[in-house]
Chain A
Amino acid sequence: DQQVKQNSPSLSVQEGRISILNCDYTNSMFDYFLWYKKYPAEGPTFLISISSIKDKNEDGRFTVFLNKSAKHLSLHIVPSQPGDSAVYFCAASAVSDYGGSQGNLIFGKGTKLSVKP
């Protein structure tokens, strides 16, 4: 029973174009969502996050959109660069009493992004 789903195992885009990675969740208790990026033989690296009180968060080339009613979020990378080629994990958590994530992250299976020059 997957609570966080990334239904596209892979995505290929051309350099300079937009990459859109999608994520769906089933648990309505999730209130905090994160994207991690992972290169081979390295641990995941935090990329960007969003809480349920927002519908958009932007950081440079990366933007995360949250549609709480649809239980769906997406990561947009514009423009895509060859160095963005990696596996991207969507993760979710419940919000702690003090805001932010409780720390117990539920991860999706990941989407492998390939950006071609």
Chain B
Amino acid sequence: EAGVAQSPRYKIIEKRQSVAFWCNPISGHATLYWYQQILGQGPKLLIQFQNNGVVDDSQLPKDRFSAERLKGVDSTLKIQPAKLEDSAVYLCASSFWDRVAETQYFGPGTRLLVL
């Protein structure tokens, strides 16, 4: 079974530039999560999708971050414009059903550095 795929693995941009991350969840997984992990911290949930609908985006900085999940499969997370404090690893996770957390499978993450 293929795992959660993310791309790119690494990205370096300058502040005020835009960047987008892509996630392909495990086939058949209805729930998709984007987490932000700042160095030395644990992952923090940014947004949760159930199929193509948003379940929770309370911690998403909506003035600069946006996310979509077209057709309930792949998802993209965009930052526009980026700030220095956005430097972090962005993790995508998916699960078959959002009721049971142990089924959350994480991708390898995208490491973003904002200069």
Which residues of A are at the interface with B, using a C-beta cutoff of 8 A?
4, 32, 34, 41-46, 49, 89, 91, 93, 96, 98-105, 107-110
Q: List 23 A-B contacts (CB under 8 A).
A: A4-B42, A34-B101, A43-B91, A43-B93, A43-B106, A44-B106, A89-B42, A91-B42, A91-B101, A93-B101, A100-B99, A101-B99, A101-B102, A102-B99, A103-B55, A103-B98, A104-B45, A104-B48, A104-B56, A105-B101, A105-B104, A107-B41, A110-B42
Kindly state the separation between the CA atoms of A44 and B45 in the bound complex, as whole angstroms: 14
Q: Which residue in chain B gives the minimum CB-CB distance to A41?
A: B108
Mark interface residues in B15-47 (1 if CB within 8 Å of A CB, else 0).
000000000000000010100000011111100
Interface string of B83-110 (1 = CB under 8 A from A): 0000000010101001111111111110
B4 interfacial contact with A, CB 8 Å:
yes
Total contacting residues, chain B, CB less than 8 A: 27
B101 x A100 contact (CB < 8 A): yes
Q: How far is the CB of A108 from chain B (nearest CB, A)?
A: 5
The answer to whether B104 touches A98, judged by C-beta atoms less than 8 angstroms apart, is: no
The residue in chain B whose Cβ has the minimal distance to the Cβ of A33 is B101
CA distance A107 to B109 in the complex (A): 16
* B residues in contact with A91, CB < 8 Å: 42, 101
Contact (Cβ within 8 A) A103 B102: no
Closest chain A residue, CB of each to CB of B58: A104
* Cβ contacts under 8 Å, A96 to chain B: 98-99
